[in-house]
């Protein structure tokens, strides 16, 4: 691996020629939590039960790659959400969730250049579908929290594609959507911040780390360490 070079302040580029053309790509795939949006939703939901610190510590260790089994990590965290109400969830969505700086500008530029947009998240559909509406995203895959009588049970609901959207499922989803679009993986951009994003980033034509964990920054072709998501447009002309 060659050392990264600073393309501009807070914008690192390695192992790829620049500038690149946005029109060379046909699909851009985003992680959600701490990438397209400013929060880790599972941590904020846990605040309603007084367990935010406990859940956040597991999330941080998982995103850094210190906990390798994402599925078990997520099950542990979701179990701690038992008793959270739908009203609590709505409060997180309305009061804490914000789009990351530059998210709207980057998505709009991609759409104008003819790219489709995929949100693929180890988080939850409750928030992912909200973000889909805000950004007019084409495809979404995320996990479903089980709720009974307006209260979280501490479990998740299996879906037709599988049980939990982990790193392997993120990669598979990106490749599945690419296949449906009739494009090669080399025509995909993958943007993320945590270790569970690395499988799809490795399979993509261009991997982008956004305010990411050290391992992810080291393995990505482009690392945005300062500023918003739209800084990718400084490299992709």
* Residues acting as catalytic residues: 31, 33
**CA-CA distance, 83 to 169, in Å (whole number)?**
28
- Stretch (H or E) spanning 222: strand 222-224
Alpha helices in the chain (DSSP H): 41-46, 52-63, 70-79, 86-95, 103-112, 125-135, 167-181, 198-203, 214-219
CA angle 60, 61, 64 (to 5 degrees): 85
Give φ, ψ of 93 to 5 degrees. -65, -40
Q: How far is CA 181 from CA 27, 64, 103, 149, 194, in A?
A: 9, 32, 23, 39, 26
């Amino acid at each position: 691996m060659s050392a990264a070079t600073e393309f501009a302040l807070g914008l690192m580029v390695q192992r790829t020629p620049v500038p690149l053309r946005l029109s060379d790509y046909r699909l851009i795939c985003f992680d959600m939590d701490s990438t397209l949006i400013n929060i880790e939703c599972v941590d904020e939901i846990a605040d309603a039960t007084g367990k935010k610190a406990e859940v956040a510590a597991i999330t941080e260790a998982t995103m850094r790659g210190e906990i390798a089994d994402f599925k078990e990590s997520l099950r542990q965290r979701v179990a701690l959400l038992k008793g959270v109400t739908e009203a609590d969830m709505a409060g997180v969505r309305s009061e804490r969730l914000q789009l990351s700086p530059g998210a709207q500008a980057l998505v709009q530029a991609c759409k104008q250049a003819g790219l489709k947009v995929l949100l693929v998240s180890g988080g939850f559909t409750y928030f992912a579908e909200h973000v889909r509406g805000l950004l007019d995203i084409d495809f979404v895959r995320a996990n479903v929290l089980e709720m009974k009588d307006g209260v979280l049970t501490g479990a998740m609901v299996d879906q037709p594609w599988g049980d939990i959207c982990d790193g392997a499922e993120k990669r598979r989803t990106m490749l599945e959507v690419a296949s449906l679009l009739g494009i090669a993986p080399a025509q995909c951009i993958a943007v993320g911040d945590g270790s569970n994003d690395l499988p799809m980033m490795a399979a993509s034509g261009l991997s982008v780390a956004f305010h990411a964990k050290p391992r992810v920054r080291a393995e990505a072709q482009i690392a945005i360490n300062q500023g918003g998501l739209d800084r990718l447009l400084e490299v992709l002309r």
